[in-house]
Amino acid sequence: MLSRILILVVGLLISAPAMSAQNWSGYPATMASFSYSEDNLGEHWQALTDGFRGPLPTAESLKEDALRWPEMSAYTQNHLQSIATEHPELAYLAEGDLDAHYESYAAELRRAWSLLFNGRFEEARNLGLALGPAGYFPGLYAQALHATLIETDQDVRRALLEEVIHLTRDIMPMAPDHPMIRFGNAYGKARILEELSATEAMGTGYTSEIQDTLDALLKENPDNIYAITLLAGVQAGIIEKAGGFIARLTYGAKASSVEKLFEKAQQLSPDYPGVYYEYARARLKMDGSDGKKTALTLLRKIGDRQPLSAEEALLIRAATDLRESLK
């Protein structure tokens, strides 16, 4: 197993695209600000994640993860040793066995998550990838949010999302049943598909892969709000690109299924602005101009909600922009 882990470490270091070299546009200074930290994150974790982004990183949660995914734990140990020179501030984590540093390692992971929720996406990405697979969750999540909610250059956006797919795919063999790795991979593919033509989308092979992944996640946890919302949006995109008949025949995507998924999402998480924003976009994909009235009704439901994080603030901004464009 050691040789396989070393191959993975070298492979990831060599082949991963160097997106950290890009200059990311920052979270807008005029928007709501947040001050989460590794020390206070635990007080807000449930509200920020709805329980679907794993447990709050603690020494105990890391011990449980190491027992469940020992290969990923061993990989993390080797990874931290490999980046000690490049990241001297994290070098202490490579001294001896990682389990002796679980308290400190968990604090670093909470710091990465806090950077994400505060809108410091590039910092969250860089720290997360430096920390190894457990840090990939906040790191690549931050990268995906930046790509979809801030980045305006289509080529850069696609490169960012392709790196999310690449890195989640590479660590998946170490934890093939890990829900966040699988969701992150599906999310990156889904966002890329949105900007492709029907022919281009079909050529990627992503559509079936995304649906299979999200169906499996929902069998394991039928109330996973993020999987529900993403699957509904993907099915709406299939209907838009392929037409109702082909979408239903080939992929089982139906407008009625999209509606049921979004209705469930609203019941499960009525305060999450992403549900209304994505549902509005789905109605426009499926119904075109005939869906404007319904889309506006959905977008108005967001109202004057106060965002809990930078992600929610950006979703509210995107919803506001979409609402104004439909008037």
- Give the confidence band of 7 by pLDDT, cuts at 50, 70, 90: very low
Cα radius of gyration (the chain): 20
Residue 229 is encoded by which pair of tokens? 């919302």
Spatial CB neighbours of 74, under 8 Å, sequence gap ≥ 6: 1, 2, 5
pLDDT tens figures, 271-293: 999 999 999 999 999 999 999 99
- Give the confidence band of 22 by pLDDT, cuts at 50, 70, 90: low
Q: Do residues 308 and 26 lie in contact, with contact meaning Cβ atoms separated by under 8 Å?
A: no
Q: What is the 3-state secondary structure (H, E, C) of 244-285?
A: HHHHHHHHCCCHHHHHHHHHHHHHHCCCCHHHHHHHHHHHHH
pLDDT at 191: 97
Put residue 51 in one of left, alpha, beta given phi > 0 → left and psi -120 to 50 → alpha: left
pLDDT tens figures, 244-271: 888 888 888 899 999 999 999 999 999 9
Q: How many residues would you count in the chain?
A: 327
Ranges of CATH 1.25.40.10 domains, the chain? 196-327
d(CA 219, CA 192): 25
CATH topology of domain 196-327: 1.25.40
Is a pLDDT exceeding 70 seen at residue 154? yes
Arithmetic mean of pLDDT, 128-139: 96
**Predicted TM-score (pTM) of this structure:** 0.91
Is a pLDDT exceeding 50 seen at residue 6? no
Q: For residue 165, which phi and psi values (nearest 5 degrees)?
A: -60, -45
